Amino acid sequence: MTTSERVVELLTTQGRYRLVAKPFRIGSQEFDFTHILAGTGKANDIVLVIELTGGSANDVVTRSVFAFTRALDVVGSRRPVTVVLTSGQADKELVNAINRVCRVLPIGAPEGEDSNQTVKDWLSALLPLESPPPVAHLADWRGLLVDDLKGSLDEAETELFISWAQGGKESVEDALAAEITDRADRALEEGDKP
């Protein structure tokens, strides 16, 4: 999957955007970018996804974006425009030029295990905020701790940790320090025996 396709997938599945048919017409002008997305509901941005290739000249991309934003102005559109530059490395001059008329997100072509998260991070300004977990979930700290300790400690040790946790951070630190000291002392005593 290309970076451009990842951008479209994220914005359409998580960001309330819809893919617009190409070529996109504003008045008598036609615009044909790699992908064009329009926000729905509260998201009212227009997102232009531009895949930079070896043949992408800065001035051609700049003129296309300027013409698009000017055409929106002429028809009285109040939609903000965001340009997402993918695949090739975005030139600083290109970013600075089109940044005068719209928001620019130069994603490039992230690779590796974290590439999906990298793309999502770049697009975070266009995605809805994620809500924190409900308080009820956090209130069951005891259940979460028991689940975390299952398999590594027996039931008696788990209850011991829970009793320490109820006393707060200092209680846990003091109890663990005492436990470590006790086990170290026993180990040293056993080492001294003939």
The burial class, CB within 10 Å (0-12 / 13-18 / 19+), for 11 is buried
Q: What is the mean pLDDT of residues 34-47?
A: 88
pLDDT band at 84; cut points 50, 70, 90: very high
22 sits in the region (left: phi over 0; alpha: psi -120 to 50; else beta) called beta
Predicted pLDDT of residue 139: 65
Predicted pLDDT of residue 137: 59
Which CATH number is associated with domain 3-125?
3.40.91.50
Annotated domain spans of the chain:
3-125, 135-187
